């Protein structure tokens, strides 16, 4: 059996499709999500090209409305929500715990297949005419417009189950499958981040489920709960929707932060600063993140009293994120920093997430939000958090664990080129959008006032630079897969358990259950071992 690993131990399509191995499920999730990311990226590019000129550039208003809706729906439901947790989380979490698998391997496989089913529903919706509701499905627009809304709502509903399954699995795994001696405060912070993420996945997703069921019933049977014409309350839909969709933002960003807490110490060769502060801030974000959904509704007709309460709570949730950023910076202090691709992305994350977080102050503050709500300022803000935060962290994680997942090193030179292009392209795309937004350019606009055209053009050019960065990335990552296995077990000098097994790992992860001899960030101990 010497020489085989989880990729080569069994062969054939069936050995993948029905695998119970968390690593293989993680890899399948990875390719599926990358496919969806590509699709969502194409939609984004088309949206940006259309916005080169006011009025028609390449498509009609109806087509444009479908385009931005599909971009949002695909990126949120098919990419960002599962992204890090389902791919890297699935792959790395049991390894980090010294476990052979997640607690419920069959549930894990079910989660993947449910994801695929949901994705097929979404695909059907796209082929059957698409939808033009925006990814937020606001009623009564979504209950009165045409298009394949039912299929897309069902897709989101089904995808919710895949999220719930992952969340249940991770919580049970973290509680019950830690290697002997791996106490809660010896766990890597990535695991803490996943734990916090899973809490939200389990608690928030069911509310999305019931909201979408009610939406479908309203659309099909006119039950009069959300439809004002029948005595319903459209704001109830918004409350339900954001009770889910605000915590979802933390489902997306917490895993990103979790990756930061691994990459920054490893590439600084220094124990993480403020372990407990970072761990507890993850939990605090997960919990307080549930208290703030009403800040999406400051101008919706929600009562001013509720608005004030939500604004107050929103400012509270800003603090744990700030605490994390400061702790990461302190980790770099007096370290030994090397700027390989994962660390380049980590530095990008620090800068972009800082902008994303700080611009959140404008939106959490109730008076300033009134002017900025539903403008490009909001669009730019959440792209700085979702892309500048989650996607950049995902890229950091992919580059960090790529040798472990696939057993090959990628071209470091091209990785750096691509990282710089992504950073520059992203900023060129979205910084003009902040300015447009605060100057009064509403979002979801097909046509716009001529004064905004120069900034729209800059933004579109930025999207091309960004696209080029991703093309190069795809190139060198695919190229690395054609090479023979060349990755050492521990290429970066990490101290967490996944680096103690081979790259790629054997099917059962470890030859023997690992003993916990040092902490997750104890690089000094690692050096004395060597």
Partner 1 sequence: MSPDLSQTHPHGGPKLYAAVLAALLVLTGITVTSSYIDFGSPAVNVVIALVIASIKASLVALYFMHLRYDKPVLSVIFVGGLFFLGLLLMLTMIDAGSRDSVPSWNSKPPAGGPVAR
Partner 2 sequence: MNWLRSLLLPAQGSAYAGEYDTLFLFITLLSAFFFLLIAATAGWFVWRYRRAREQAPTSMVTQSLALELTWTLIPLAIVMGIFFWSLKQYVGASVAPGDAMEIQVTAKKWLWAFEYQNGTRTVNEVHIPVGKPVKFVMSSEDVIHSFFVPSMRLKQDVLPNRYTELWFTPATTGMHTLLCAEYCGRSHSDMLGKIWVDDDATFQKWLEEGDESTRTMPLKELGKMLYESRGCSTCHSIDGTRGDGPSLKNVFAHDIKLADGKTVIADANYIRESILQPQAKIVLGYEPIMPTFQGLLREREILALIEFIRSLN
Partner 3 sequence: MSRTAGEPFLQHHFATPEQQFEAGKIGMWLFLVTEILLFGGLFVGYGLMRSRNPAAFSEAHHHLDRILGLLNTVVLLVSSFTMVMAVHAARTDRRKRLIAFLALTLVFAGVFLGIKYIEYSHKFHEGLLPGKFYSHKGDTVPGQFQFFSFYFMMTGLHGIHILGGMGAILWVLRRSVQGHFSSRYYTPVDLVGLYWHLVDLIWIYLFPLLYLIR
Q: What does the binding site for partner 1 look like in residue numbers (CB under 8 A)? A: 175, 203, 207, 224, 228-231, 233, 235-236, 239-240, 243, 290-291, 293-294, 301-306, 309-310
Name which of partner 3, partner 2, partner 1, none residue 105 binds, using a CB cut-off of 5 to 8 Å depending on partner kind.
Answer: partner 3
Give SS3 for 51.
coil
Instruction: Give the count of beta carbons closer than 10 Å to the beta carbon of residue 514.
Output: 20
Cα 159 to Cα 114: distance, rounded to the nearest angstrom: 7
CB 205 within 8 A of CB 164: yes
CB 343 within 8 A of CB 400: no
Which of residues 39 and 225 has its CB atom nearest to partner 3 in the complex? Answer: 225
Min dist CB 217 to partner 3, Å, is 7
Q: For residue 93, which of 184, 163, 193, 8 has the smallest C-alpha distance?
A: 193
Task: Please write down the long-range contacts of 138-143, taking CB distance under 8 Å and 24 or more positions apart.
Answer: 138/234, 138/237, 138/238, 138/241, 139/215, 139/218, 139/226, 139/227, 139/234, 139/237, 140/226, 140/227, 140/228, 140/229, 140/234, 142/215, 142/219, 143/215, 143/218, 143/219, 143/222, 143/226, 143/227
Answer yes or no whether residue 297 interacts with partner 3 by CB under 8 A: no
Which of residues 209 and 442 has its CB atom nearest to partner 3 in the complex? Answer: 209
- The C-alpha angle 165, 166, 168, rounded to 5 degrees, equals 65
- DSSP structural state of residue 208: H
Which of residues 30 and 523 has its CB atom nearest to partner 2 in the complex? Answer: 523
Q: For residue 48, which of 513, 446, 488, 359 has the smallest C-alpha distance?
A: 446
Stretch that binds partner 3, among 32-40, 94-102, 315-323, 382-390 (CB under 8 A): 94-102
User: Which single residue is written with the structure tokens 């472990």?
Assistant: 404
Q: For residue 150, which of 89, 220, 247, 86 has the smallest C-alpha distance?
A: 220
Name which of partner 3, partner 2, partner 1, none residue 107 binds, using a CB cut-off of 5 to 8 Å depending on partner kind.
Answer: partner 3
Please list every residue from 408 through 437 that binds partner 2, using CB under 8 A. 435
Min dist CB 331 to partner 2, Å, is 9
Answer yes or no whether residue 381 interacts with partner 2 by CB under 8 A: no
Instruction: Give the count of beta carbons closer than 10 Å to the beta carbon of residue 297.
Output: 19
Q: Bridge-partner residues for 506, per DSSP?
A: 509
Residue 134 tokens, joined? 């925006």
Number of residues this chain uses to bind partner 3 (CB under 8 A): 43
Cα 341 to Cα 395: distance, rounded to the nearest angstrom: 9
Mark 481-510 as b/e (b = at least 16 C-beta within 10 Å). eeeebebebbbbebbbbbbbbbbbbbbebb
- The C-alpha angle 514, 516, 522, rounded to 5 degrees, equals 125
Min dist CB 219 to partner 1, Å, is 16
Answer yes or no whether residue 176 interacts with partner 3 by CB under 8 A: yes
Give SS3 for 246.
helix
Name which of partner 1, partner 2, partner 3, none residue 291 binds, using a CB cut-off of 5 to 8 Å depending on partner kind.
Answer: partner 1
Min dist CB 328 to partner 2, Å, is 9
Cα 175 to Cα 125: distance, rounded to the nearest angstrom: 39
Q: Bridge-partner residues for 509, per DSSP?
A: 506
User: Which single residue is written with the structure tokens 């990282």?
Assistant: 419
Using the rule CB under 8 A, which residue among 444, 461, 475, 506 binds partner 2? 444
Name which of partner 2, partner 3, partner 1, none residue 100 binds, using a CB cut-off of 5 to 8 Å depending on partner kind.
Answer: partner 3
Q: In this structure, is the dihedral angle defined by the CA atoms of residues 205, 210, 211 and 217, taken in order, positive or negative?
A: positive
Min dist CB 371 to partner 2, Å, is 4
Answer yes or no whether residue 450 interacts with partner 3 by CB under 8 A: no
Answer yes or no whether residue 496 interacts with partner 3 by CB under 8 A: no
Using the rule CB under 8 A, which residue among 128, 210, 449, 471 binds partner 2? 449
Using the rule CB under 8 A, which residue among 34, 52, 287, 330 binds partner 2? 330
Cα 374 to Cα 311: distance, rounded to the nearest angstrom: 17
Name which of partner 1, partner 3, partner 2, none residue 276 binds, using a CB cut-off of 5 to 8 Å depending on partner kind.
Answer: partner 2
Using the rule CB under 8 A, which residue among 59, 236, 431, 526 binds partner 3? 236
Stretch that binds partner 3, among 58-66, 123-131, 218-226, 300-308 (CB under 8 A): 218-226
Which of residues 9 and 233 has its CB atom nearest to partner 1 in the complex? Answer: 233
Cα 20 to Cα 108: distance, rounded to the nearest angstrom: 7
Min dist CB 335 to partner 2, Å, is 5
Answer yes or no whether residue 144 interacts with partner 3 by CB under 8 A: no
Q: In this structure, is the dihedral angle defined by the CA atoms of residues 297, 299, 305 and 307, taken in order, positive or negative?
A: positive
Q: For residue 112, which of 52, 170, 166 has the smallest C-alpha distance?
A: 166
Min dist CB 233 to partner 3, Å, is 7
Stretch that binds partner 3, among 101-109, 266-274, 285-293, 391-399 (CB under 8 A): 101-109
Contacts with partner 2, 344-363, as mask; x by CB under 8 A: ---x--xx--xx--xx-xx-
Name which of partner 2, partner 1, partner 3, none residue 350 binds, using a CB cut-off of 5 to 8 Å depending on partner kind.
Answer: partner 2
Using the rule CB under 8 A, which residue among 337, 424, 431, 457 binds partner 2? 337
Q: How far apart, in Å, do the first and last CA atoms of the chain sit?
A: 27
Backbone angles phi, psi at 278, to 5 degrees: -70, -45
Please list every residue from 111 through 170 that binds partner 2, using CB under 8 A. 132, 134, 138, 140-141, 144-145
Please list every residue from 208 through 267 that binds partner 2, using CB under 8 A. 228-229, 231, 234-235
Answer yes or no whether residue 335 interacts with partner 3 by CB under 8 A: no
Which of residues 350 and 420 has its CB atom nearest to partner 2 in the complex? Answer: 350
Binding residues (CB under 8 A) for partner 3: these are 99-105, 107, 164, 167-169, 171-173, 175-177, 202-203, 205-207, 209-211, 213-214, 217-218, 220-225, 230-233, 236, 240, 508
């Amino acid at each position: 059996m010497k020489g085989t690993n989880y990729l080569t131990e069994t062969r054939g399509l069936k050995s993948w499709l029905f695998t119970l191995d968390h690593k293989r499920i993680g890899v399948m999730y990875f390719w599926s999500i990358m496919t969806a990311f590509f699709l969502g990226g194409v939609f984004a590019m088309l949206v940006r090209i259309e916005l080169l000129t006011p009025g028609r550039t390449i498509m009609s208003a109806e087509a444009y409305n479908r385009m931005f809706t599909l971009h949002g729906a695909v990126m949120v439901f098919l990419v960002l929500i599962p992204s890090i947790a389902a791919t890297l989380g699935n792959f790395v979490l049991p390894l980090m715990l010294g476990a052979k698998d997640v607690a419920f391997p069959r549930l894990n496989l079910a989660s993947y297949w449910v994801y695929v089913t949901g994705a097929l529903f979404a695909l059907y919706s796209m082929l059957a005419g698409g939808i033009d509701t925006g990814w937020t499905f606001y009623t009564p627009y979504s209950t009165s417009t045409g298009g394949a809304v039912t299929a897309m709502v069902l897709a989101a509903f089904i995808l919710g189950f895949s999220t719930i399954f992952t969340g249940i699995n991770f919580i049970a795994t973290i509680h019950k499958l830690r290697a002997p001696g791996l106490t809660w405060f010896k766990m890597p912070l990535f695991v803490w981040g996943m734990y916090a993420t899973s809490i939200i996945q389990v608690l928030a997703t069911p509310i999305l489920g019931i909201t979408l069921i009610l939406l479908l019933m309203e659309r099909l049977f006119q039950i009069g709960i959300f439809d004002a014409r029948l005595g319903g309350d459209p704001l109830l839909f918004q409350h339900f929707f954001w009770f889910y969709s605000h915590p979802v933002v933390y489902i997306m960003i917490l895993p990103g932060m979790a990756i930061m807490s691994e990459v920054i110490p490893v590439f600084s060769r220094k124990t993480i600063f403020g372990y407990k502060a970072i761990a507890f801030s993850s939990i605090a974000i997960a919990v307080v993140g549930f208290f703030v959904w009403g800040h999406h509704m400051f101008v919706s007709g929600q009562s001013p009293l509720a608005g004030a309460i939500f604004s107050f709570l929103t400012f509270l949730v800003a603090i744990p994120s700030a605490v994390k950023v400061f702790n990461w910076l302190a980790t770099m202090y007096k370290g030994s920093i090397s700027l390989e691709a994962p660390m380049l992305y980590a530095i990008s994350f620090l800068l972009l997430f800082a902008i994303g977080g700080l611009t959140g102050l404008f939106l959490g503050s109730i008076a300033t939000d009134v002017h900025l709500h539903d403008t490009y300022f909001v669009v730019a803000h959440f792209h700085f958090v979702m892309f500048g935060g989650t996607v950049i962290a995902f890229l950091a994680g992919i580059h960090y664990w790529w040798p472990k997942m696939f057993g090959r090193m990628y071209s470091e030179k091209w990785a750096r080129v691509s990282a710089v292009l992504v950073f520059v392209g992203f900023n060129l795309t979205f910084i003009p959008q902040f300015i447009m937004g605060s100057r009064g350019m509403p979002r979801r606009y097909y046509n716009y006032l001529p004064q905004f055209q120069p900034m729209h053009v800059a933004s579109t050019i930025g999207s091309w630079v960004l696209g080029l960065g991703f093309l190069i990335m795809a190139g060198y990552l695919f190229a690395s897969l054609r090479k023979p296995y060349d990755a050492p077990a521990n290429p970066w000098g990490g101290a967490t358990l996944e680096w103690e097994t081979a790259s790629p790992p054997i099917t059962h992860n470890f030859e023997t259950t690992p003993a916990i001899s040092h902490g997750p960030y104890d690089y000094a101990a690692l050096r004395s071992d060597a």
